[in-house]
Amino acid sequence: MRTLRTKVAVVGAGPAGLYLSHELRTHGVESVLVEWCSREHVERRVRAGLLEEGTVRLLRGSGLAGRLNRQGLVHDGFQLRFENTSQRISTVSLIGEPTYIYGQQEVVKDLLSARPPDDGSLYFDARDVQIVGITGNNPSVAFTVGGEQVVVEADFIAGCDGYHGVSRASIPAASLAFHSRRYPFDWIGLLVSAAPFASELVYSVHPRGFALASMRTPEVSRLYLQTDARDEQSNWPHERIWDELGQRLYLDESRTWERGAILEQVRVPLRATVAEPMQFGRLFLVGDAAHIFPPTAAKGLNVALEDASVLAHALIGWFRRGEVGPLEGYSATRLRAVWRAQDFSAWLTWLFHPVADATQFDHRRRIASLTRLAEAGSSAVAFADEYVGRSRRRPPSLSYIHELDGMEA
């Protein structure tokens, strides 16, 4: 058995764990990062692709955005389609901030490239990961790698290992409140080798269900289709998916649309979870280990990197200046932002997804809400504020409450 000593043990080498480790190292705080997947798997898994302005600022401020600046797609706004109309909403015109298309796996590659080669602080393919001693002053992470048992002793542990990881499960159930919601629909997602449907994202609300036309690069499209959560995957062959996308995107029959080769097809369950508090003893939960968002508003990656940034600065303050407050207040600080993002995500999910038992009253109310956004008034400004995440970077405003009041999730 090999025993290592470090200041912070980071469990999970997704974007949040890698970013946290990077920030700590940059400011002279040692860490060891443990990941149960292989490096190849971590670099290749396709996840979120929409980055908020605040996330891009974090990456640029940390010297991690060289490739993002060259290859990321800057979007001034998006298309909103409903009732056989297409409206453009420009977040730049409304509040002066764009969004960016840059895949999560690309962020991971950039973070891994920024690490010193073979410095012995990153372990992939870790098995039987366990976290112990979080209520004492010497917590540790034990795991097996290459047949050898390794124990990492640390001052603190950052749990960045996602919904199914060991970090949240290491907190006693009696000390953790877990809130969850499962929506009655899923998304079918396609990764397609074809030029994007449009130059910007297209959110389309149709009586048959929601559709989203996104992209990863100028040559690769990402397409999503709402389906009932109880519907069998076998009921959705490729031809039916393509036909439904055409209808729900209000595709003009005269227009040719390159379908392209399907590189990947996934089923995405829409759910929301929050674990609170986000810290227990010497263990801190970061990203998906603490919260899951429905993909409608693309908050998951962005909020996770915010978590990592806030925790990194709190830990740096503790080790370099002896500051206690930011570390003790981590959970309270982050939960305010998490619940705000959950609120907006839930509202947007309600707005975009018709359900089978919706009444005509529900339908007309939804159209009225969509129309208000398309009119570029105060409702659109409040929407853009939440959509690009600017609202989480400043003190709470009553405008969001006033403008979106009554739009139930």
Comparing 23-32, 39-48, 287-296, 306-315, which segment has the lowest mean pLDDT?
39-48
Task: Supply the mean pLDDT for the chain.
Answer: 91
Question: In terms of Cα–Cα distance, which of 290, 305, 316 is closest to 7?
Answer: 316
* Structure tokens belonging to residue 226: 């709402």
- pLDDT category at 254 given cuts 50, 70, 90 is low
As a whole number, mean pLDDT of residues 37-43 equals 88
- pLDDT category at 255 given cuts 50, 70, 90 is low
Cβ atoms within 10 Å of 402's Cβ, excluding its own: 11
The whole-number pLDDT of residue 394 equals 67
Q: Measure CA 13 to chain center.
A: 15
The secondary structure element, H or E, covering residue 91 is helix 91-95
As a whole number, mean pLDDT of residues 335-348 equals 96
What span, in angstroms and rounded, lies between the C-alpha atoms of 371 and 393? 27
Q: Report whether pLDDT(191) > 60.
A: yes
Q: At what angle do helices 378-387 and 330-352 cross, to 10 degrees?
A: 120
- pLDDT category at 258 given cuts 50, 70, 90 is confident
Q: Report whether pLDDT(406) > 60.
A: no
Instruction: Write the DSSP string, 5-55.
Output: E-SEEEE--SHHHHHHHHHHHHTT--EEEE-SS-HHHHHH-----EE-HHH
Using DSSP's 3-state secondary structure scheme, residue 313 falls into helix
Residue with tokens 């443990």: 34
Residues 61, 38 contacting (CB under 8 angstroms) = no
- Known catalytic membership, residue 299: yes
- pLDDT category at 402 given cuts 50, 70, 90 is very low
- pLDDT category at 395 given cuts 50, 70, 90 is low
Active-site residue among 75, 206, 291, 353? 75
Q: Report whether pLDDT(46) > 90.
A: no
Q: Report whether pLDDT(256) > 80.
A: no
Position with higher pLDDT, 233 vs 184: 184
- Known catalytic membership, residue 203: yes
The whole-number pLDDT of residue 398 equals 37
Q: Report whether pLDDT(126) > 90.
A: yes
Active-site residue among 139, 295, 354, 400? 295
The whole-number pLDDT of residue 404 equals 45
Question: In terms of Cα–Cα distance, which of 12, 48, 58 is closest to 393?
Answer: 58
- pLDDT category at 357 given cuts 50, 70, 90 is confident
The secondary structure element, H or E, covering residue 224 is strand 220-228
- Known catalytic membership, residue 75: yes
Residues 186, 353 contacting (CB under 8 angstroms) = no
pTM: 0.93
Q: Report whether pLDDT(196) > 50.
A: yes
- pLDDT category at 233 given cuts 50, 70, 90 is confident
Q: Measure CA 210 to chain center.
A: 20
Q: What percent of the chain has pLDDT over 70?
A: 95
Position with higher pLDDT, 11 vs 378: 11
* Structure tokens belonging to residue 115: 């690490």
Q: What percent of the chain has pLDDT over 90?
A: 80
As a whole number, mean pLDDT of residues 364-377 equals 90
The whole-number pLDDT of residue 408 equals 44
Phi, psi angles (nearest 5°) of residue 337:
-70, -40
Q: pLDDT for 156-170, tens place per residue?
A: 999 999 999 999 999
What span, in angstroms and rounded, lies between the C-alpha atoms of 58 and 188? 31
- Known catalytic membership, residue 387: yes
Q: Report whether pLDDT(58) > 60.
A: yes
- pLDDT category at 403 given cuts 50, 70, 90 is very low
The secondary structure element, H or E, covering residue 307 is helix 300-321
Active-site residue among 123, 183, 224, 387? 387
What span, in angstroms and rounded, lies between the C-alpha atoms of 103 and 111? 13
Active-site residue among 22, 206, 291, 299? 299
Active-site residue among 203, 224, 330, 400? 203
Q: Report whether pLDDT(101) > 80.
A: yes
Q: How far apart are the first and last CA of the chain?
A: 52
Q: Report whether pLDDT(127) > 70.
A: yes
